[in-house]
Amino acid sequence: MSIESHIIHTIPVFDVQDLLEEPIHFFKNSIYSHVAVTEDQKLLGLLSENDLESFEKGEKISSFRTNLESFYASRETSWLDVLELFSRNEANLIPVLDEEAHVLGYYDLNDFVGVFIDTPFFKEPGAILVVAKGIKDYSFSEIAQIVESNNTKLIGAFITDTRSEVVQITIKVGTNNFSEVVNTFRRYNYSILYGNKADQFLEDLKERSDYLDKFLNV
């Protein structure tokens, strides 16, 4: 999936010699969590909106150098890795760099949630299963084999939770032989946390899934 077309070029990038007054104005007039700072036209780091109260209008950004955060994407970064960057850094804006660390623009969280929801996992008709198994005992190749051995199409799967050495995986499959798929997962010692052929579960997942909430609520 190509995501380079989602790069935003209209959001400012500040130089380390700019006054802090400029990012103060930016944060107070936007909903963004971070903004990029460059030195010699290359990314130096990111200012965080959380530090806004510490900014002094008359000082240069350079006085805040040690507080800059460090994360970014490249044009080659996959959309799933970009989503992980948003979540891990509690950000809703990520700078995109070229090969020489120049800032090309930004990825916006809202755009990427839309990209995620627009994937076949959500759009293609099918049935949803949520299964759980020990983190050392599951594999995606096994999950695919279980589904396809029942002459059912595997549409997609992703990890939705990991805790206490147990991994939770949400799987979307074709509706053919759904009961057989569920029973096979049980035979392979997967716990069935949810199984539903109804499309309503997809709406619930879009609105209430903890996995998406990590991104939507940043």
Note the pLDDT of residue 128.
87
Note the pLDDT of residue 1.
56
Residue type, 163: R
pLDDT higher at 13 or 163: 13
Least confident of 31-40, 41-50, 149-158: 149-158
Please check whether residue 65 is in contact with residue 16, taking contact to mean a CB–CB distance below 8 angstroms. yes
- What gap in Å lies between CA 16 and CA 180, rounded to an integer? 61
pLDDT higher at 180 or 196: 180
Q: For the chain, which domains are there? A: 4-116 (3.10.580.10), 120-216 (3.30.70.260)
- Using alpha carbons, list the distances in angstroms from residue 145 to 9, 37, 141, 188: 44, 48, 6, 11
Range with top average pLDDT, 23-37, 104-118, 166-180, 181-195:
23-37
For the cut 70, the answer to whether the pLDDT of residue 213 exceeds it is no
Q: Average pLDDT, stretch 91-107?
A: 96
Residue 23: band (very low, low, confident or very high) from pLDDT cuts 50, 70, 90: very high
